[in-house]
Structure 1
Amino acid sequence: MSELLNYLLQNDENFRRARLPALYSDFRSQRTLNPDGFAANVAAWKRGLSSAALAGYAPSKSGTNNHLTLDLEGDSLLRSLETKQFGRPLALGTVLQEALANGEMMPLQQFLKAKESIYHRSWGSIPWSVVAWGLRQVGIGGPGDNLPKGQFVILHNLEVVSKAFSEATEDRTSPFERTFSKTHFQRTFAEGLLEENQRLSEIDMEVLVKFLSRDKNVLATDGNTVKIRSGGESVEITQEDSAIASLKELMEDLTRQTEVLSKRIDDLNIAAQDAVRRKNRIAALAALKSKKLAETNLSRRHNTLSQLEDVAAKIEQAADNVQLVKVMQSSTVALRNLNAQVGGADKVDEVLENLREQMGEVDEVGNIIAEAGPGATVDEAEVDDEFEALMAEERKKDEEAERIKREAQEQKEAEETRRKLAELEKLGPLPVPGQEGEKASRPLTPITATANDLGDMKI
């Protein structure tokens, strides 16, 4: 089983075992007999081939994995999809012809040579018969919906990678960070835009640059220099852009050279030590001499790289100054327009003076209305009399409450006195002094008193 077919079976639910007989059958007749089934099969093949190409499993004549194009030279695609049970997919040519007719795929050379945006006139708006005739004129398609020949751009994959590129470059704000030579641009962005550490091929990068510059207006390029556009920037590549791109590429080359020289010095040092251990004086001296030459070259590369970094810093600072001056100029124009709308300090003073006058008139009118209005005058004597009446009523309430509280207290004390007198009567007559051992001959005279008479009595 090929890698392509294994990928589809493992990762695409449309290629489960139960669906394979329908997908590998000649379902071209369903275009009119069963339109829904025909559309489902076509959509499954298009999604499967698109995702497989993006993941790097589509076969290529050159042996390089292309993620944005589908290579249909020869029958490598059919052989990759062939199975012992179902053979080759019989309607795959129809599927690819449908993708071409709907604008989901485009011939590579036509895509690269197009002057207008591919969205300007969608292939999907052209009748199928016209598209089929046009494809046959350029050698694509033919009787029986044969498999088209050539390389074709997969627009869905292009949209996916374009979105990843925009997300990866959204934090590049300065002109120095957004300008590259063509070679430097390819080395910088060939990796990191796809999943699973996949790398875009040279054809992929060429297609991507064309798409981002012509159809998305994200890049500006003259064929040698590539610049990530910022809002409001010119689409033309300036001389300053070319200088920045060349400088960055040279710095990258020098950095790579320093890495190679550093590794060579380490290797020569190990070789010299090994020669000394083996008592090989000639080999040791040769390794040390080569090491010294490499160290000299490394020192020169570092000095040159340091100078270029200083130049790059100055260029970046100058570019930032240009942006700053532009912002200050636009701010000056904005302030001038706003001040013109205000009319200057004299007009502001005049407006404030008029405002104060109008506010004064409002206060004056309000005072006049308050003085002339009915019921505006308040008799202070009547207010005082009403206040005294309220206070007298309040005092009366307080005195009544105090009287009720005092009577309740007196009633409580009288009840306590009666209780204690009742307890004394229960004790019986008191003994007479001088008659020890004898009981008193007469009882005590009962004491009678009212509760009010005994109110202050202490027992």
Structure 2
Amino acid sequence: MSSTPTVTHSILTLPQFSSVSPARLIVLYSDFGPQKGSNPPGFQANLVWWKSVLEAASEKAYFPSTEGAGGAIVIDVGDALVEALRQEGGGRAIGLGSVVNEMVSDQSLLPLSSFLSSTASIFSVPSIPFRIASTLIVSPLWWGLQQLNIVASDEYVQSSTASRWSKAQGKYVVKSTLEKAASNIISHFQTLPHSSITDMLFSTTSFRSTFASKALPGVSLSNNEIDVVLKFLERDRKVLLREGHVIKFDPFTTSSIPPISSVDHGVLEMSTTLLALQTQISELEMKISDQSNKLSYSLKNNQKPTALSHLRSRKTYEDLLAKRLGSMEIVQNVLIKVETAAGDIEILKAYETSTATLVTLLSSPSLQRAHIDLTMDNMADALADHAEIEAVLVSGGEAARNAADPDAALIEEAELKAELDSMVREAEKEEAEARERVALAEKERSERLEKEETEARERIEAAEKERLELEEGEEREARDRVGKLEEERVRAERKAEMEKREKEKSAEVAVIEEEDEGESEEVDLKGEKEEEKREKVLAE
């Protein structure tokens, strides 16, 4: 089935709905079928809008997917579609039956059953310009005649909405989507290898698996839609042939595709067998890997009976795998040889065609040896006659000029000599001017080089002078820094000497003061002793 959206109202998300006003949408959802007779332009405008909606929804597979209808190329016009188009609030597309019937009339929609059963190409119907002219010119004219009661009213206009809807229900092929899908499939096929006979042959199953998802962006066609595409490519585009389950696809041929032969059946059968063997081999390898994992697990868990069973199974699968690999190798080698033989046949056919063409050309009377010799002899005679005539004409012309004017030759010779002398002088003059220009250019070059050399020397001297000045300045700064450092050192030494002297003086003063204090204490002590002696004497 096609990859249809899960949201029921996905059709309503198309840009066609957001680009019209609510009032206009009400008109489009009304039963505008009777307007075909009363207002053909309005009817046509509504029809164009609905046609763009249905075709856009078809390309995106927005239609409900039902039995036999994938929702993309094949659509089912019924109650499910009406529900998918229902507007919020319950608005139903009442005029949908009129739209579908008109699209069937102009071949935009093709009934599925007649499309699959018909042997006539869909491109054999009247052209689109003819139908547009019929709609835009004939319909208004017919409406005018109806208003004058010259012709009877259109039976379609007189029919009811229910009868139009009943007539419209069914499964249809969307022509524009079908054409795009077929073109996309052909474009995708051009990107695949197609150098051998095998690349051109498909079964229905392999064609479906190869192209179902390549027909429309983001859509995978259903089986029924693939059948529709195959029918279109075979009958209408004439790029493939079908015979039973064999499909021969060759969109590159400029002539009719060769009929499907027994060789094609055999090659396709071998290709199908080869694919089946490859699938079986992949499955066997997976089973062997699974049995190996189970065997390892059983051994780790000391389940020897189970491990032995897995070992036997793995051995069986390995034996079968070896047989399938041998079979695949045999089929593959045979298929390569068949492809090589088919290619050799095509090459030999080309050789035969080119040989026959060359023989036909060489058998032409114009290329026979006698005719060639005669033609070349005649050409040589004609060229000799032409040269002789030219010589006679030249000599006769000179003789005629000399007879008419005997001095003309002398005059012409003098003029030629004068012209030659003039050309020589002009050449010498040009040579002298050239030498002067060269000398002037050399002088200018020497002056320029000398000037550049002088400027270079000046720049070098200026740079050297600047360097010397910079070095002298740096040297002076260094001397100044050294002198300042020396002065600071001398000041520091002097300061330290003065501080030392002050400390020494302070120490001497302290010693003297201590000595004076000691002498004073001794005097006081002596005075007290003498006082004690005097007191003792007086007491006695």
TM-score by length of 1: 0.74
Aligned residues of 1:79 and 1:88 also touching (Cα < 8 A): yes
CA distance in 2, matches of 1:386, 1:64: 98
- SS of 2:198's equivalent in the other structure is coil
Match of 1:10 in 2: 13
Offset of residue 14 of structure 1:
4.5
The one of 341, 349, 372 equivalent to 1:348 is 372
The one of 66, 87, 95 equivalent to 1:61 is 66
1:361 maps to amino acid:
D
Aligned residues of 1:71 and 1:151 also touching (Cα < 8 A): yes
The one of 318, 324, 341 equivalent to 1:301 is 324
- SS of 2:63's equivalent in the other structure is coil
CA distance in 1, matches of 2:266, 2:423: 100
Query: Structure 1 residues 367 and 271, CA, compared in 2 at 3 Å: closer, same or farther?
Result: same
Match of 1:75 in 2: 79
Aligned residues of 1:101 and 1:123 also touching (Cα < 8 A): no
2:15 maps to amino acid:
D
The 5-angstrom pairing of residues 410-429 of structure 1 reads: none
Aligned residues of 2:10 and 2:84 also touching (Cα < 8 A): no
CA distance in 2, matches of 1:298, 1:86: 62
User: Which of 1 and 2 has greater Rg?
Assistant: 2
The one of 24, 28, 45 equivalent to 1:23 is 28
RMSD: 3.4
The one of 7, 17, 42 equivalent to 1:37 is 42
Aligned residues of 1:180 and 1:244 also touching (Cα < 8 A): no
- SS of 2:101's equivalent in the other structure is helix
2:30 maps to amino acid:
S
Query: Structure 1 residues 42 and 368, CA, compared in 2 at 3 Å: closer, same or farther?
Result: same
1:344 maps to amino acid:
Q
The one of 291, 296, 307 equivalent to 1:268 is 291
The one of 279, 291, 301 equivalent to 2:314 is 291
Aligned residues of 1:4 and 1:57 also touching (Cα < 8 A): no
Note the alpha carbon deviations across 1:144-164, whole angstroms, 9 max, x for none: 444623321111111011111
- SS of 1:177's equivalent in the other structure is helix
Is residue 107 of structure 2 the alignment partner of residue 107 of structure 1? Answer: no
1:184 maps to amino acid:
S
Note the alpha carbon deviations across 1:53-73, whole angstroms, 9 max, x for none: 33222112239734210123x
- SS of 1:28's equivalent in the other structure is coil
- SS of 1:119's equivalent in the other structure is helix
Aligned residues of 1:107 and 1:152 also touching (Cα < 8 A): yes
CA distance in 2, matches of 1:107, 1:208: 14
Is residue 395 of structure 2 the alignment partner of residue 375 of structure 1? Answer: no
Aligned residues of 1:182 and 1:223 also touching (Cα < 8 A): no
CA distance in 2, matches of 1:150, 1:282: 64
Aligned residues of 1:30 and 1:38 also touching (Cα < 8 A): yes
Query: Structure 1 residues 38 and 391, CA, compared in 2 at 3 Å: closer, same or farther?
Result: closer
Aligned residues of 1:103 and 1:122 also touching (Cα < 8 A): no
CA distance in 2, matches of 1:223, 1:11: 41
| Count of matched residue pairs | 385
CA distance in 2, matches of 1:331, 1:325: 10
Of residues 141-150 and 118-127 in structure 1, the stretch that sits farther from structure 2 once superposed is 118-127
The 5-angstrom pairing of residues 43-442 of structure 1 reads: 43-62=48-67, 65-72=70-77, 74-122=78-126, 143-146=163-166, 148-170=168-190, 172-196=194-218, 198-229=219-250, 230-234=253-257, 236-341=259-364, 342-373=366-397, 374-375=400-401, 383=413, 387=417
Of residues 91-100 and 25-34 in structure 1, the stretch that sits farther from structure 2 once superposed is 25-34
Aligned residues of 1:221 and 1:236 also touching (Cα < 8 A): no
Aligned residues of 2:11 and 2:62 also touching (Cα < 8 A): no
Query: Structure 1 residues 236 and 385, CA, compared in 2 at 3 Å: closer, same or farther?
Result: closer
Asked which structure has the greater RCO (Cα within 8 Å, sep 6+), the reply is 2
- SS of 2:173's equivalent in the other structure is strand
CA distance in 2, matches of 1:102, 1:12: 24
1:330 maps to amino acid:
T
Of residues 225-234 and 374-383 in structure 1, the stretch that sits farther from structure 2 once superposed is 374-383
Aligned residues of 2:74 and 2:174 also touching (Cα < 8 A): yes
CA distance in 2, matches of 1:392, 1:175: 81
Note the alpha carbon deviations across 1:235-267, whole angstroms, 9 max, x for none: 532111111121111111111212222222222
Of residues 333-342 and 76-85 in structure 1, the stretch that sits farther from structure 2 once superposed is 333-342
Note the alpha carbon deviations across 1:205-257, whole angstroms, 9 max, x for none: 11111111111111111232110133334453211111112111111111121
Task: Give the % identical residues.
Answer: 25
Aligned residues of 2:212 and 2:221 also touching (Cα < 8 A): yes
Offset of residue 110 of structure 1:
1.1
TM-score by length of 2: 0.64
Task: Could you tell me which runs of 5 or more consecutive residues in structure 1 were left unpaired when the two chains were aligned.
Answer: 135-140, 399-459
